[in-house]
A and B are shown apart, each in its own frame.
Chain A
Amino acid sequence: MTTLYLERASAVHRLNPVTKLVALLAIIAIVFAVPQWWVPLGIVVFVVVPAAVLARVGGRLLRLFLILLLPLLVVLFIVQGFFFPDGTTVLWQWGPARLTVEGLVFSLTIGSRLSALVLGSLVFVLTTHPARLMTSLTQAGMSAKIAYVISASLQIIPAFQERARSILLAQQARGLEIAGGPLRRARALLPLIAPLVLGMITDVDERSTAMEARAFGATPRPTSLTVVDDPLSERIGRWLLAATAAAVIVLVVVGVIA
């Protein structure tokens, strides 16, 4: 299965996934509502990173930060910092490149928001097993069919990639050449499409038969083998998080935070 989840024994892992999801959404709402760049940065430094360290996924988070986010932040800084069209307070100039305070603030704002969004989501994904997420969401009232679509796309798609590889292997075994230039390789992949698509269509048929044979959707209230704890403290915590986010948005809208 291709998810980023890391198995650890930590308080963050043990949290009900719905709580983590609400926290993530609250963070996203706040960082995009508040105009000050230091708010998202503060959330990253004082909430997201400590959570990752507590969950013992800090190393992986750092690696993902370096691979995914850092290049983007550098580009953002160069483009917006030096070439911000509305920049007036010039700090440094070289040819057409002008480092302006406005450009710097703009790139900091976007960069810190992006960091809070991406890093927060990563901590969520790194510490939340998809199965627990699905169970907790269905426990919270999400429909089993929607849960199925999400789970299936997490699992069946990698399984189909596996199948694509085995079809390719079978065709190579019968003399299909896939070495050579990119164009040639792309052409060589064409024969893969028909068996894969046809296979998927017949699969859907048989799969739906198998699902119905196991009474999927037969009752509106299925029971569940796995149960995710949802203590009162977490439920209160979720309401507080949601209320905080709502309060911040209201304060921004009425102009108290500007």
Chain B
Amino acid sequence: MIELRDVAFAYEDAPAFTLAHLDLDVAAGTIMGIVGASGSGKTTLAKIIAGFIPSTEGGTYRGTASVAGAVLSEGTLTEAVDVVGLVTQNPFNQISGARFTVREELAFGLENRSVERSQMIERVNTVAATLGLTPLLDRSPYALSGGQMQLVAIASMVVMAPPVLVLDEPTSQLDPAGTRLVYDVLGRLSEGGTTIVIIEHKTELLHEHCDAIAVLAGGRIVSTGTPASVFADDRLSTWGVGQTRITQAAREARTRGLLPATEPLPVGVSDGAAVFGTNGETR
């Protein structure tokens, strides 16, 4: 669904390329997690996938990025926006300012797409309900907490139902319950065929919900694979990506000789329990 081939980008007047020789493939209907250190270029990558780079950003762009078979840089931004929905990093800046209630805010994109009113009401109500926003629908979008604003920002893109959804750190301000709601929604969308790219620092969440992980470091994708394989990689910390507490515990257990080196490193809670459990039995 998403294909990036040898993509490179340098911001205007920047001394070096932020991204270079970057290749990325995301299969249709899957959830791809992108990890990388701060400043590694995750937001830049998100903007490329969503068609905002190069069309709204000066600088040097090379390579081809195509989504659903269309090369983004050859079409208009409006065409790209129809296919790829982008939730940007800062929720405050996603509140349009053009609407006075959360309900209208959620409808904003649909209005711009000339969706019929009755359909609009239904979609807004459905998405609001799935993200727990129903009690906030008549509030001003500016009278919300950071986390609530973030849910509104996500909802206002989800409601447009784009075939591809790119989310830049969508749960950075959410509590565990809000985070769960978001990942539940993403899971359901993906089952319905939506292709999802999610930039996220919380390794454990990605492990639980993603079909694949790509690691961004040094301007390139340095590793891709299943969450279990990527997050157990020994080079993870050199890429500036945190390992889960369970992997840390397993490594610790290894160095103390409690866990055989042949045992694959666990990442999540259940595989962790399995590894520690079997080891306990053998002792």
B side interface size, CB within 8 A: 46
Determine how close the nearest CB of chain B comes to the CB of A196; give it in whole angstroms. Answer: 14
Considering the complex, which residues of chain A in the window 210-229 have a beta carbon less than 8 Å from any beta carbon of chain B?
Answer: 210-219, 221-227
Query: Which of B93, B111, B124 is the one whose CB lies under 8 Å from A224?
Result: B111
Contacts of A212 in B (CB 8 A): 52, 56, 77, 81
Q: Taking the complex as formed, is A87 at the interface, i.e. its CB lies under 8 A from any CB of chain B?
A: no
Contacts of A206 in B (CB 8 A): 88-90, 93-94
Contacts of A211 in B (CB 8 A): 96
Q: Taking the complex as formed, is B281 at the interface, i.e. its CB lies under 8 A from any CB of chain A?
A: no
Q: Taking the complex as formed, is B214 at the interface, i.e. its CB lies under 8 A from any CB of chain A?
A: no
| Interface 9-mer from A43-51, A91-99, A120-128, A155-163 | A155-163
- Known contacts being A1-B100, A159-B92, A210-B96, is A215 close to B52, with CB within 8 Å? no
Query: Which of A214, A217, A225 is the one whose CB lies under 8 Å from B120?
Result: A225
| Interface 9-mer from A10-18, A63-71, A146-154, A242-250 | A146-154
Question: Could you show 5 A-B contacts with beta carbons less than 8 Å apart?
Answer: A131-B101, A203-B90, A215-B112, A225-B103, A225-B121
Judge whether A218 and B113 touch: CB under 8 Å.
yes
B 88-109 binary contact with A (CB < 8 Å = 1; else 0)? 1110111011111101100111
Cα separation A217 to B97 with both chains bound (whole Å): 15
- Known contacts being A213-B81, A215-B78, A226-B104, is A151 close to B115, with CB within 8 Å? no
Judge whether A215 and B99 touch: CB under 8 Å.
no
Residues of A within 8 A of B (CB): 1, 129-131, 134, 144, 147-148, 151-152, 155-156, 158-159, 162, 203, 206-219, 221-227
Q: Taking the complex as formed, is B263 at the interface, i.e. its CB lies under 8 A from any CB of chain A?
A: no
Judge whether B100 and A217 touch: CB under 8 Å.
no
Contacts of A207 in B (CB 8 A): 93-94, 97
Contacts of A210 in B (CB 8 A): 86, 88, 93-94, 96, 153
Contacts of B77 in A (CB 8 A): 212
Determine how close the nearest CB of chain A comes to the CB of B199; give it in whole angstroms. Answer: 15
Judge whether A131 and B109 touch: CB under 8 Å.
no
Cα separation A156 to B112 with both chains bound (whole Å): 20
**Considering the complex of A and B, which 6 residue pairs feature the smallest CB-CB distances, nearest first?**
A214-B109, A131-B100, A225-B107, A152-B97, A215-B112, A206-B93
Judge whether B98 and A209 touch: CB under 8 Å.
no
Chain A's closest residue to B166 (CB) is A213
Cα separation A152 to B95 with both chains bound (whole Å): 10
Determine how close the nearest CB of chain B comes to the CB of A195; give it in whole angstroms. Answer: 15
Chain A's closest residue to B159 (CB) is A214
Judge whether A215 and B92 touch: CB under 8 Å.
no
